[in-house]
A and B are shown apart, each in its own frame.
Chain A
Amino acid sequence: MTTDRVRLLADMYRIRRMEETCAELYGLQKIRGFLHLYIGEEACAVGAVHALTDDDNILATYREHGHALMRGVPMNSIMAEMYGKASGCSRGRGGSMHLFDSSRRFYGGTAIVGSGLPQAVGLALADTMLARPGITVCFFGDGAVAEGAFHESLNLASLWRLPVLFVIENNLYAMGTALSRAQAQTDLASKAAGYAMTSSAADGMDVEAVHAAVSEAAAAVRAGRRPHLLELHTYRFRAHSMFDAELYRDRAEVDEWKKRDPIATYAARLVADGVLDKAGVDGLDRAARDEVTGAVEFAEATPWEPVADLLTDVHTPRGM
């Protein structure tokens, strides 16, 4: 394990504490609109993004707070975006579902399920034709597998031999629809075979397993300039969004998955391995909480964009 194990745990805490605070701020009506929390799935983004390079492109979904933070988007600008402030990473035009950062090759933040996949194919085409070294990593949920865009994109990427790593974060529910109620074939990694593409699967609740799986898959994509489909088995602890009464799943099922909490289990493992003691774990948690406090202060303090600027950024200003 070359990546710093402490860093992996620290980053999972950062996502968890940031999102817990977002949920509180939602209750206070500081954050509005849709808010889709990643709580329970943190090992996926943390393990995956730590296995990538700065040259790689990343696309994610409307449940992308963790991916953005892992990509290096400052928590301050993520939180400001949640508030709708001009200091946000999308200048307040996107909100929770549309975090972007061009300087970090973070391409959002899309709320049309499956719409990132064809764009990932195009980004990989651009890298290939412009002889750039990066690969494109596209995160999406099990729900997207039912979209035509999934099948068209896997076919195109394989047909054109493009370096795309497709990552399914399979949390077993497309909003309220269980995987088995939406897919005739619930082994999602197996779908790659129909497109002559390699695939693999990993435990998305285990950050080291994710890191290893993404490292291996990314290396193959990078070396072979061929796509790969990786399925991560994970689970969302919270509701789909803040408007979800969770009528579609049993409390007992949620509780069972919570025993596999990626943060608690990994903290225990690092303590057991002697990498950290209890105080060390608490220190990571406290640092995450402090960072969140600072981010909220930043978001509160920065100004609103003037309404006079409403029509900016619909088109690119001439001369750019």
Chain B
Amino acid sequence: MRITYRDAMRLAIRDALLADPRVLLMGEDVGLYGGSYAVSKGLLDEFGPERIRDTPLSELGFVGAGVGAAIGGLRPIVEIMTCNFSLLALDQIVNSAALLRHMSGGQFSVPIVIRMATGAGRQLAAQHSHSLENWYAHVPGLRVLTPATVADARAMLAPALADPDPVVIVEHAALYNTEADVPEGLTCDIERAAVRRPGSAVSLVTYGGSLPKVLAAADVLAAEGIEAEVLDLRVLRPLDVASVATSLRRTHRVVVVDEGWKTGSLAGEVLARIAEECLFDLDAPPRRVCSAEVPIPYAKHLEDAALPQVEGVVAAVHQVIA
């Protein structure tokens, strides 16, 4: 069946609501409005206002309510409109959801799924465009997923809900309109990275909204006779370092592409792990392609210049292969 990433998320949420009466979706405009990215359109009519619960603009309050509901036996899916807005709820995610199990000596698991849109590319300027998923990937107690394909959007939610601990799902807003054929009965391993394109000349390690750009760069490189392997991390915490190392041992060269800022980035963590695990497998110094160290600007040409682009990835590969 050919569906969009948006459809895939909606179908996954619908499946979850059908499968388990404890599941509910809550967030700003998830109900009558249909979701700010139209992910939940139609679900209110099917499941009613108890389970498709519109909230006031109270990120701290409704995420905290989600944490309490999870402790109380429900399986809430909490939608936060954007990663930038999630900072208003950071306390409940980092200081409570992630810590409660440990702080209570293992008495309280917090089975909450928190979904948020991330990323730039739509001229929404600095307060709607940042990629802060790396902040969540820093925190023990959380699992951080970044579905980059329609198939992952379709299949990641079920195992995330089955996880007894808090899961943050970060959806790049530029992906919602992407389309693919997705078979029925798809499953997803939320422990592992995935090779999206096999290759032997260089490993391109990426995740989320950068995946389509990296695949496009791999096409350009292939036309030049450079077969790049594209590895989609999929899970930012816990990082699947083994898959990164396996790819590197095949290619001996690596470029990490991450829409976050380079300083303190997930790309930096990936390179640090590579240095610890398999530095001597590298035949060339690694490279990172990240966003410029600037708040994302409004003007189209400046926004484009601030973000990782296909040309930049190709150029970085040329550097590590030269």
Contacts and interface: CB of A to CB of B under 8 A. Distances in A.
Contacts of B100: 108
B102 A313 contact: yes
A313 B64 contact: no
Contacts of B68: 118-126
Interface string B105-149: 111110000000000000000000000000000001100000000
Contacts of A119: 64-65, 67-68, 71, 92, 96
Interface string B243-267: 0000000000000000000000000
B64 A121 contact: yes
Contacts of A115: 64, 91-92, 95-96
B106 to A, nearest CB: 4
A305 to B, nearest CB: 9
Interface stretch (B52-60, B168-176, B181-189, B292-300): B52-60
Interface string B80-105: 00000000000110011000111111
Nearest to A126: B72
Nearest to A305: B105
A93 B107 CA distance: 11
A29 interface: no
A129 interface: yes
Nearest to A134: B72
B35 interface: no
Contacts of A127: 72
A123 B50 contact: no
B87 to A, nearest CB: 13
B208 interface: no
B164 interface: yes
A46 B140 CA distance: 36
A217 to B, nearest CB: 20
A199 interface: no
A138 to B, nearest CB: 10
A152 interface: yes
B312 to A, nearest CB: 36
A180 B63 CA distance: 31
A102 B100 CA distance: 12
Contact of A148 (B60, B62, B70): B60
A315 B141 contact: yes
B198 interface: no
B141 A125 contact: no
B65 A316 contact: no
Interface stretch (A6-14, A47-55, A84-92): A84-92
A122 B64 CA distance: 7
Nearest to A118: B64
Given A90-B107, A130-B74, A118 B60 contact: yes
B165 interface: yes
B61 to A, nearest CB: 3
A316 B167 CA distance: 12
Contact of B61 (A92, A153, A312): A153
B69 interface: yes
Interface of A: 57, 88-94, 98, 100-102, 107-110, 112, 115, 117-127, 129-130, 148-149, 152-153, 155-156, 159, 312-316, 320
Interface of B: 22, 24, 50, 55-56, 58, 60-74, 76, 91-92, 95-96, 100-109, 140-141, 164-165
20 contacts: A94-B104, A100-B103, A102-B108, A115-B64, A115-B91, A118-B60, A118-B61, A118-B63, A118-B68, A119-B67, A121-B61, A125-B65, A126-B72, A126-B74, A149-B60, A152-B60, A155-B58, A155-B61, A156-B61, A314-B141
Given A109-B103, A314-B101, 18 more contacts: A91-B106, A94-B103, A101-B107, A107-B71, A112-B91, A112-B95, A115-B92, A118-B64, A118-B67, A118-B68, A119-B92, A126-B71, A148-B60, A153-B65, A155-B56, A156-B65, A313-B106, A316-B109
